[in-house]
């Protein structure tokens, strides 16, 4: 996500362009809420012109709100004259989107959410070059999901499985972090898939039930488990949507993409690697 913010005294209200299209309603309101926090911190009252572009589909379970509000936190704070450190930026981004806090630091990060949302922040425990992991994102649908992540989190509390998921989260995070530091792909694969499946089990048992998976989603999940049993280092994880993230090692990227293409049900394959966090570009 690339975002620019300009505070202008002559604007009658905040304006938001995403991929060239003017936004209104709830989308604009969420941005205004974030801008209000920045205005309060900076002691200004000007409205803002926000322009943002993404190189991936929005609202389909590829964490567009994470990168969006991380970029907004960085651009808006800088435009308002604030010079926030990584921790403060992460805390600010968290107020816009729960997952945005993790997009601020570079590389492999952990979210410290022991206290309130206002105090939660993410920090890096390994740089982006520490481990050559690749994310091959299988886009099976570009349709905007009818139930967004924010509402999905609220519905999670209605699932009888949510309490167990939360109680076990500390253990899963510890195992995941140790696996990354040890570069233990097998352990990371097991815990990541279990965590993803647990999240979707909660959504499937919420009231009302949320079922994001499409037939192609299940096809990919089965294929990934089969490929791993055959010795290929791969595992899947799925956000709140139908699209599947296949994690592998950099040296196996081409082989994995070839296998994905053979499935025939994937419209687009996007690739990514551990990111460098929020970065500022002078224009």
pLDDT at 119: 81
Please give the full DSSP string across 19-77, using - where no structure is assigned: TTEE--HHHHHHHHHHHHHHHHHHT---EEEEEEE-SS-SSSSS-HHHHHHHHHHHHHH
pLDDT at 52: 96
Backbone angles phi, psi at 231, to 5 degrees: 105, 0
The two tokens of residue 21 are 């299209």
Q: Express each pLDDT in 237-267 by its tens digit.
A: 999 889 999 999 999 999 999 999 999 888 7
pLDDT at 264: 82
Strands 133-139 and 268-272: antiparallel
Determine which of 127-131, 133-137, 141-145, 198-202 has the lowest per-residue pLDDT on average: 141-145
pLDDT at 149: 62
pLDDT at 116: 65
Q: Is residue 134 predicted with pLDDT exceeding 80?
A: yes
Which DSSP symbol is given to 238?
A: -
Determine which of 55-59, 125-129, 161-165 has the lowest per-residue pLDDT on average: 55-59
Determine which of 113-122, 145-154, 164-173, 271-280 has the lowest per-residue pLDDT on average: 145-154
pLDDT at 98: 84
What is the average pLDDT across 94-107?
A: 94
User: Comparing C-alpha atoms, which of 121, 166, 148, 155 is closest to residue 60?
Assistant: 148
Q: Express each pLDDT in 39-83 by its tens digit.
A: 999 999 999 999 999 887 766 566 688 999 999 999 999 999 999
What is the average pLDDT across 182-206?
A: 97
Alpha-carbon distance of 229 to 256, in angstroms, equals 14
Place 104 in a pLDDT band, splitting at 50, 70 and 90.
Answer: very high
Q: Is residue 36 predicted with pLDDT exceeding 70?
A: yes
Cα Rg for the chain, rounded, in angstroms? Answer: 19
What is the average pLDDT across 166-193?
A: 97
- Structural domains for the chain: 2-126 (3.30.230.10), 133-272 (3.30.70.890)
What is the average pLDDT across 107-116?
A: 84
Helix (H) or strand (E) holding 237, with range, is strand 234-237
User: Comparing C-alpha atoms, which of 4, 82, 86, 84 is closest to residue 48?
Assistant: 4
Exposure b/e, 131-149, CB count within 10 A at least 16 = b: bebbbbbbbbbeeebebeb
Q: What is the mean pLDDT of the chain?
A: 93
Q: Express each pLDDT in 210-231 by its tens digit.
A: 999 999 999 999 999 999 999 9
Alpha-carbon distance of 35 to 43, in angstroms, equals 12
What is the average pLDDT across 3-11?
A: 97
pLDDT at 42: 98
The two tokens of residue 263 are 């499935």
Q: Is residue 172 predicted with pLDDT exceeding 70?
A: yes
What is the average pLDDT across 19-41?
A: 95
HSE on the CB side for 116, CA within 13 Å?
Answer: 4
pLDDT at 115: 61
């Amino acid at each position: 996500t690339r975002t620019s913010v300009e505070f202008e005294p002559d604007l009658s209200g905040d304006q938001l362009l995403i991929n060239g299209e003017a936004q209104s309603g709830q989308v604009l309101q969420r941005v205004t809420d974030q801008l209000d926090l920045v205005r309060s911190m900076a002691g200004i009252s000007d409205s803002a012109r926000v322009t943002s572009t993404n190189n991936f589909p929005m609202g389909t379970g590829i964490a567009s709100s994470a990168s969006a509000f991380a970029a907004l936190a960085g651009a808006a704070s800088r435009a308002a004259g604030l010079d926030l450190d990584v921790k403060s930026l992460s805390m600010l981004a968290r107020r816009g989107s729960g997952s945005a806090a993790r997009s601020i630091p570079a590389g492999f990060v952990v979210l410290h959410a022991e206290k309130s949302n206002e105090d939660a922040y993410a920090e890096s425990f390994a740089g982006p070059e520490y481990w050559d992991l690749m994310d091959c994102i299988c886009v099976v649908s570009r349709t905007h999901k009818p139930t967004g992540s924010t509402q999905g989190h609220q519905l999670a509390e209605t699932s009888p499985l949510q309490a167990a998921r939360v109680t076990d989260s500390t253990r899963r995070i510890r195992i995941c972090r140790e696996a990354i530091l040890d570069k233990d792909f097998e352990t990371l694969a097991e815990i990541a898939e279990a965590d993803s499946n647990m999240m979707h089990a909660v959504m499937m048992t919420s009231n009302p039930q949320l079922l994001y998976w499409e037939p192609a989603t299940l096809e990919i999940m089965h294929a990934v488990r089969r490929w791993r049993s055959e010795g290929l280092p791969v595992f899947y994880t799925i956000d709140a949507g139908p699209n599947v993230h296949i994690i592998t090692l950099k040296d196996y990227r081409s082989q994995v993409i070839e296998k994905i293409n053979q499935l025939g049900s994937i419209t687009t394959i996007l690739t990514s690697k551990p990111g460098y966090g929020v970065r500022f570009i002078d224009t």
